[in-house]
């Protein structure tokens, strides 16, 4: 396995890093733009007030939405301040943001880097986890229904009507969402819409257009849901 590196770089809109893994843990943070990490278990997405924790040995790929400044912090496998065994989205406080940016600068002297790392790990231990996760199903029927909404997150059809479109019952789909994705259909669809909303905002789409394209009945309903989940209004995340 390649070593998880500590560095910063700029990714173009739509750019990314293809599937790979590391022999250590990695923190991936976008100080500009929006970053996603995808594994076989689903996709996690993070704007500039969130970071992504990727455990050692996890096969994953990065994708950038909008021009993205990516900072990665590599940590040895025995350094896991939150004890996380799967990819996780973490809240990034203003102090943690500046620590990550400073720590990933290329010319930081060794003693200063050690001090930055110690404080960074201290702040990481108190970083709350954020459930911005879009899990992926395995059952072909569930995958087909989820695919319809990935194609058009603004699709407002009920689960029963979506199931009818692919030939599966409402009851079966309800069970599959619970058993394979660990959430109800409305919960998953909200996560999907927020996921797409972050991407559209990073691409500079106006807030009202994002609300419409992602299926909210009004811009105010979108803003309210977005603010409660992300801790800030959507306009702050627009490129």
Domain membership of residue 82 (yes or no) is: yes
At 219, which CATH number? 1.10.10.60
**If pLDDT is split at 50, 70 and 90, which confidence band does 123 have?**
very high
Name residue, tokens 């627009």.
238
Mean pLDDT of the chain: 92
d(CA 149, CA 192): 8
159 and 58 together in one domain? no
Domain membership of residue 1 (yes or no) is: no
Across the range 106-118, mean pLDDT stands at: 88
Write down the pTM of the prediction. 0.83
Domain membership of residue 2 (yes or no) is: no
30 and 82 together in one domain? yes
d(CA 44, CA 4): 19
Domain that holds residue 198: 137-237
d(CA 32, CA 237): 9
Higher pLDDT, 97 or 3: 97
d(CA 117, CA 139): 43
| Strands 42-46 and 129-130, sheet pairing | unpaired
126 and 154 together in one domain? no
Q: Choose among 148, 49, 124, 135: nearest CA to 86.
A: 135
Residue ending a domain, among 75, 101, 133, is 133
Segment 159-178, tens digit of pLDDT = 999 999 999 999 999 999 99
Total of domains in the chain: 2
92 and 143 together in one domain? no
124 and 154 together in one domain? no
Across the range 51-55, mean pLDDT stands at: 94
104 and 142 together in one domain? no
Q: Residue 239: what pLDDT?
A: 65
Across the range 210-235, mean pLDDT stands at: 93
């Amino acid at each position: 396995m390649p070593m998880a590196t500590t560095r910063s770089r700029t990714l173009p809109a739509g750019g990314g890093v293809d599937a790979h893994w590391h022999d250590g843990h990695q923190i991936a943070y976008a100080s500009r733009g929006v970053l996603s990490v995808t594994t076989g278990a689903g996709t996690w997405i993070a704007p500039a007030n969130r970071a992504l924790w990727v455990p050692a040995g996890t096969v994953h790929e990065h994708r950038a939405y909008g021009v993205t400044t990516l900072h990665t912090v590599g940590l040895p496998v025995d350094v896991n301040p939150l004890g996380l065994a799967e990819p996780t989205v973490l809240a990034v406080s203003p102090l943690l943001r500046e620590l990550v940016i400073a720590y990933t600068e290329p010319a930081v002297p060794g003693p200063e880097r050690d001090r930055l790392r110690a404080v960074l790990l201290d702040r990481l231990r108190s970083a709350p986890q954020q459930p911005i996760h879009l899990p992926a199903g395995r059952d072909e029927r569930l995958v087909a229904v989820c695919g319809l909404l990935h194609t058009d997150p603004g699709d407002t059809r009920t689960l029963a009507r979506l199931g009818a479109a692919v030939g599966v019952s409402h009851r079966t789909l309800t069970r599959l969402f619970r058993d394979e994705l660990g959430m109800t259909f409305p919960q998953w669809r909200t996560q999907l819409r927020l996921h797409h909303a972050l991407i559209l905002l990073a691409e500079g789409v106006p807030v009202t257009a994002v609300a419409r394209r992602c299926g909210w009945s009004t811009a105010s309903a979108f803003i309210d849901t977005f603010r409660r989940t992300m801790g800030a209004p959507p306009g702050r995340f627009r490129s």
